[in-house]
A and B are shown apart, each in its own frame.
Chain A
Amino acid sequence: MATSVKIATPMPSTEQVARRLGISGERKRTILKLAEDAVNSYYQRSKSDSRSTAAVAKRAKAA
């Protein structure tokens, strides 16, 4: 039994993973779009969170 193992194969592309899983067509497009939206909204949320944190800090400093 191993505790660690070296991965001998290169990183597969998204296309290769989709093919391996047998996911294609509309189903694949929907999942890829979902991923793009998830990443974009994560960064938008982080940006607005940091803006509001900065605004709170500014208000606190002014007070």
Chain B
Amino acid sequence: MRENDVFLNFPYDDLFRPLYLAYIVGLVDLGLTPVATLGIPSNATRIDRIYDLIRSSRYSVHDLSRVQLTRTAPAVPRFNMPFELGLAAAWARERPKRHTVLIFEAVNRRGHKSLSDMAGTDFSIHNDTPKGVMRELCSAFITQSKRPSVPNMLRHYEQLKAAIPKLLRNSGADTLFEARTFDDLVLLAKAISASDQP
């Protein structure tokens, strides 16, 4: 198990991009390393590889704010995120000292309505804003050393955003939702966090 790894369960969707970057910056500033299923091919072994990734991560963060109908026809509910939450929840029940599950949503009480099995679990409500994601991450993860602040995270978020066009040009990628680009973003966020010590 990797003690600093956080399995990040979120939609691969351009509309989610601001929150995607906020999660990366926030988790990295907290001293954690986000990991995602980007790059895992859609074939018979996908579920095994997702489960392995969950089991090798000390924490998982599940963003359920986009569990809605897809925009392209036929419109279907996006089940991947609750499904992966189910896998992580089962693993955490099995090994509570090895895995901790945290659930994020944009709207208060909506998650409990769509997922009543989770009654009694508090969801972190980020209000669909990068600042909200950072605020909730700071409440959810308690650090031993100096606690990062939301204003610092927001500054690192702006710095990361400004560097993205060049990052994509350098890697030849078209989108941020690729395995290699995700890793590059994590290292970029870490290097920004380390360089920006006002």
Contacts and interface: CB of A to CB of B under 8 A. Distances in A.
18 contacts: A1-B92, A1-B121, A2-B102, A3-B121, A7-B143, A8-B3, A10-B31, A10-B144, A17-B33, A17-B187, A21-B187, A22-B183, A23-B184, A31-B191, A34-B170, A39-B192, A39-B196, A42-B162
B19 interface: no
B158 interface: yes
Contacts, number: 114
B23 interface: no
Given A14-B190, A35-B191, A36-B195, A6 B142 contact: yes
Interface of B: 2-4, 28, 30-33, 59, 89, 92, 100-103, 118, 121-122, 124, 139-145, 155, 158-160, 162-163, 166-167, 170, 183-184, 186-188, 190-192, 194-196
A1 B4 contact: no
Interface string A10-48: 111110011011110001101110111111011000000
Contact of B144 (A4, A6, A21, A35): A6
B4 A12 contact: yes
Interface residues of A, number: 33
A1 B166 contact: no
Chain B interface, >50% SS class: helix
Contacts of A34: 163, 166-167, 170, 188, 191
A14 B186 CA distance: 10
B163 to A, nearest CB: 4
Contact of B184 (A1, A11, A31, A39): A31
A62 interface: no
